[in-house]
Structure 1
Amino acid sequence: MSPPAYPPPRHLAGAPSAPAAEYDADVVILAMDRARETVEAVASARAQTGVSKHVWIADQGSDPENLAILKAAVGDAPDATLVRLDRNWGVAGGRNRATALGSGRAVFALDNDAEFDGADTLARAVRALDAEADLAAIGCRILVHATGEEDLSSWGYPPALLPRAADSFDAATFVGAGHAIRRADFEAAGGYDDALFFCWEEYDWSLRAINAGKRVRYRGDIAVRHKVSGQHRFAWSGTRWFHFVRNRLYIEMKYGASWPSLLPRFLAYQAKGARNGVLAQGLRAGPAALRLAAEFRPPAGQEHLYRLTPAARGYLARNDAAHRGGLLDRVRREVLASLPSAPSKPAAR
């Protein structure tokens, strides 16, 4: 299946195109300001050894000062290319367009505030994909850059699996801050859904890959370092909660869930949003998810990927649901944990 054709972005610095010869991997880094961190991420990617690669930096709207810093850092590098996209497509759309620029058999996406843990991290990720034909993607272990401790804000798996952070296991998704995807599987599953913008795009794509008979695997021995506080919590400002709730509901409906069946989840999200002062975002997310679902049409030839097979349901049950506990456990996490704790309640009068 051919990848979608996107309008060519504006070339700003570095090599004008991908290498003519075959090579192992593309490293994709999205940029929007945070110039110092982005330059360090690019340097980390270019320093990877034991693998043939090309580094793509796709800017989505940095201000002129930060863009100048990126252009100077990339310069005329033969193994890196800085481009400017026509607008901010978010994480999902930005990675789609940056990935389409290359031709390496693996694609490693690195957050612009992250770095590879070692000089051979990329090579090891490519070897991991090469070693197992049914492996579509691997999620890296995400460590706090300054300390090497677990980045708890980037743990995207069942909480019960956190003690196994140094191990490996099959999973239902991967964390976007550092991951590798087999290009052929990325294209076969249709890439990311641009409509998601950011949040849950990795899970949405993973569902299609799993439905096509592929696996997603967490590799605790392959790591990136993320420049966040080890105790960082979910950022409730802006529109993050809106996208979190909207996208999760939309994805469920894409794969056949009815709105009534999602009502308990929606109410749990509202309780959590109210507790954190963003109730309005969560309430707006419901109608927005319904609109996206009403507008969604599977790409021609990919309709089957949106109907989960018995094998896919079994995979998800073994590798995700089995680690999340029963309904009561989930309600406790989503609702009861969102309510004010006893010490914060007014004293009885």
Structure 2
Amino acid sequence: MSLGPYPAPEHVAGARGPAGETDADVIILALDRAEETIAAIASARAQTGIARHVWITDQGSKPENLARLAAAVEGAPDATLVRLDRNWGVAGGRNRATALGRGRVVFALDNDAEFRDPDTLARAVRAMDAEPDIAAIACRILVFDSGADDLSSWGYPQGLLPRSAESFDVATFVGAGHAIRRRDFERTGGYDDALFFAWEEFDFALRAINAGQRIRYRGDIAVRHKVSGEHRFAWSGTRWFHFVRNRLYIGLKYGLAPASLLPRFLAYQVKGARNGVLAQGLRAGPAALGLWRAFRPAPGTESLYRLTPAARDYLARNDAAHRGGLGRRVRAEILAALPGASGAKAG
């Protein structure tokens, strides 16, 4: 796992890069859904009070959709559309998009989301500047049409949901809208490409916390999310496979013995069997072991994969204390993958 260097992607449209220094980079991954992506780009370019550049990274859109994206940024001095050689998933795509910029803060916006306010980005940067021990800001995710909390994107203990408008430290963040301090992203090794999608934010957060940083949920910094069928759990696809594989793989990476993960693995199989995807869950176990055996930390990050006492205390206070015992925690994780249920979005 490494932040690069990556081969230069193909420049498609817009500026070759920012004209001057920037405080923040906004990254948007694109894969078809042209109409929603164009709206996300417009929302990012409308952010005020901050020097920023918008990077749109396409991972395999159909030619007609790529052409629409190109037209949306043609001649734009503050936006760049590039195309990667293939679909690297959420984790790999964000790594490559992040590597394009130089802003001290990287704000990742889903291609079906928009900033709630014109100064959302500026407030996120100010919040990170005010507290140097924050590695990432988890935004409040709202349903685009209603403004209510998007329960399918609530990635935190259920007991904290009534406090969704407040701010508190957390153990992860939700991908639909979040800000990361570039310094922390680079020194912890970024995302793990092997995850592709599901749990990549949690994996990064563990390393940041182990490095002595915090993840801060900010209910006053929000994005509006267009919840659609594409974000619902698809039992017939491979999402359950990635969900189970990645969670087991992350446990192994951070020092858990394979036997200790057996209760979690079995709980996942029960849920998978009930929904007709037992084969996906069963394949996930050996696949997780394979990823773990092949895993090599980025140089200089080796120590971040053994949680310190301070990191364990942070996780106990800010996450486990709100979740209950193992059975309840595993149940919450499973519910996270289900349509319309509270929990972390997988990617």
TM-score, length of structure 1 as denominator length: 0.92
Residue 259 of structure 2 corresponds to residue 260 of structure 1:
yes
Partner of 1:200: 199
Per the TM alignment, residue 3 of structure 1 is displaced from its structure 2 partner at its CA by 4.9
Residue 109 of structure 2 corresponds to residue 98 of structure 1:
no
Partner of 2:112: 113
Q: Tell me if structure 2 keeps the 8 A contact 1:144–1:228.
A: yes
Query: CA separation of 1:277/1:129 partners in 2, compared to 1, >3 Å: closer, same or farther?
Result: same
Range that drifts further, 56-65 or 292-301: 292-301
SS of residue in 1 equivalent to 2:100 = coil
Query: CA separation of 1:165/1:248 partners in 2, compared to 1, >3 Å: closer, same or farther?
Result: same
Q: Tell me if structure 2 keeps the 8 A contact 1:107–1:182.
A: yes
Query: CA separation of 1:293/1:3 partners in 2, compared to 1, >3 Å: closer, same or farther?
Result: closer
Partner of 2:317: 318
Q: Tell me if structure 2 keeps the 8 A contact 1:199–1:243.
A: yes
Range that drifts further, 299-308 or 71-80: 299-308
Per the TM alignment, residue 302 of structure 1 is displaced from its structure 2 partner at its CA by 1.2
Q: Tell me if structure 1 keeps the 8 A contact 2:3–2:95.
A: no
Partner of 1:84: 83
Which segments of 5 or more consecutive residues in structure 2 lack a partner in the other structure?
A: 338-347
Trace 1:288-307 onto structure 2 (pairs within 5 A).
288-307=287-306
Query: CA separation of 1:295/1:43 partners in 2, compared to 1, >3 Å: closer, same or farther?
Result: same
Separation of aligned partners in 1, 2:218 and 2:335? 32
Separation of aligned partners in 1, 2:9 and 2:111? 19
Q: Tell me if structure 2 keeps the 8 A contact 1:144–1:229.
A: no
Residue 15 of structure 2 corresponds to residue 15 of structure 1:
yes
Quote the sequence identity (%).
Answer: 77
Partner of 1:227: 226
Partner of 1:125: 124
Partner of 1:36: 35
SS of residue in 2 equivalent to 1:128 = helix
Separation of aligned partners in 1, 2:88 and 2:24? 23
Residue 9 of structure 2 corresponds to residue 4 of structure 1:
no
Output one character per residue of 1:41-71: Cα deviation in whole Å (capped at 9) or x when no partner: 0000000001110000000000011011001
Per the TM alignment, residue 80 of structure 1 is displaced from its structure 2 partner at its CA by 0.1
Query: CA separation of 1:34/1:296 partners in 2, compared to 1, >3 Å: closer, same or farther?
Result: same
Query: CA separation of 1:330/1:100 partners in 2, compared to 1, >3 Å: closer, same or farther?
Result: closer
CA RMSD of aligned residues (A): 1.9
Q: Tell me if structure 1 keeps the 8 A contact 2:34–2:69.
A: yes
Per the TM alignment, residue 300 of structure 1 is displaced from its structure 2 partner at its CA by 2.0
Partner of 1:345: none
Partner amino acid for 2:180? I
Partner of 2:133: 134
Output one character per residue of 1:24-49: Cα deviation in whole Å (capped at 9) or x when no partner: 10000000000000000000000000
Output one character per residue of 1:138-159: Cα deviation in whole Å (capped at 9) or x when no partner: 0100001011111111111111
Partner amino acid for 2:318? N
Q: Tell me if structure 2 keeps the 8 A contact 1:58–1:85.
A: yes
SS of residue in 1 equivalent to 2:223 = strand
SS of residue in 2 equivalent to 1:100 = helix
Separation of aligned partners in 2, 1:24 and 1:337? 34
Per the TM alignment, residue 327 of structure 1 is displaced from its structure 2 partner at its CA by 3.5
Q: Tell me if structure 2 keeps the 8 A contact 1:55–1:80.
A: yes
Partner of 1:162: 161
Query: CA separation of 1:258/1:10 partners in 2, compared to 1, >3 Å: closer, same or farther?
Result: same
Per the TM alignment, residue 246 of structure 1 is displaced from its structure 2 partner at its CA by 0.4
Which segments of 5 or more consecutive residues in structure 1 lack a partner in the other structure?
A: 339-349
Q: Tell me if structure 2 keeps the 8 A contact 1:18–1:101.
A: no
Q: Tell me if structure 1 keeps the 8 A contact 2:17–2:79.
A: no
Q: Tell me if structure 1 keeps the 8 A contact 2:155–2:336.
A: no
Query: CA separation of 1:74/1:273 partners in 2, compared to 1, >3 Å: closer, same or farther?
Result: same
SS of residue in 1 equivalent to 2:136 = strand
Q: Tell me if structure 2 keeps the 8 A contact 1:142–1:155.
A: yes
Trace 1:54-65 onto structure 2 (pairs within 5 A).
54-65=53-64
SS of residue in 1 equivalent to 2:208 = helix
Partner amino acid for 1:281? Q
Separation of aligned partners in 2, 1:336 and 1:60? 29
Instruction: Provide the aligned length of Structure 1 versus Structure 2.
Output: 335
Per the TM alignment, residue 163 of structure 1 is displaced from its structure 2 partner at its CA by 1.1
More relative contact order, 1 or 2 (CA 8 Å, 6+ apart) = 2
Partner amino acid for 1:162? L
Output one character per residue of 1:137-191: Cα deviation in whole Å (capped at 9) or x when no partner: 0010000101111111111111111111111110000000000001111101110
Query: CA separation of 1:24/1:57 partners in 2, compared to 1, >3 Å: closer, same or farther?
Result: same
Per the TM alignment, residue 236 of structure 1 is displaced from its structure 2 partner at its CA by 2.7
Trace 1:266-345 onto structure 2 (pairs within 5 A).
266-330=265-329
Per the TM alignment, residue 278 of structure 1 is displaced from its structure 2 partner at its CA by 1.6
Residue 189 of structure 2 corresponds to residue 212 of structure 1:
no
Query: CA separation of 1:333/1:121 partners in 2, compared to 1, >3 Å: closer, same or farther?
Result: closer
Q: Tell me if structure 2 keeps the 8 A contact 1:27–1:53.
A: yes
Output one character per residue of 1:221-279: Cα deviation in whole Å (capped at 9) or x when no partner: 1100110159x753333111111000000000000011100000000111111222221
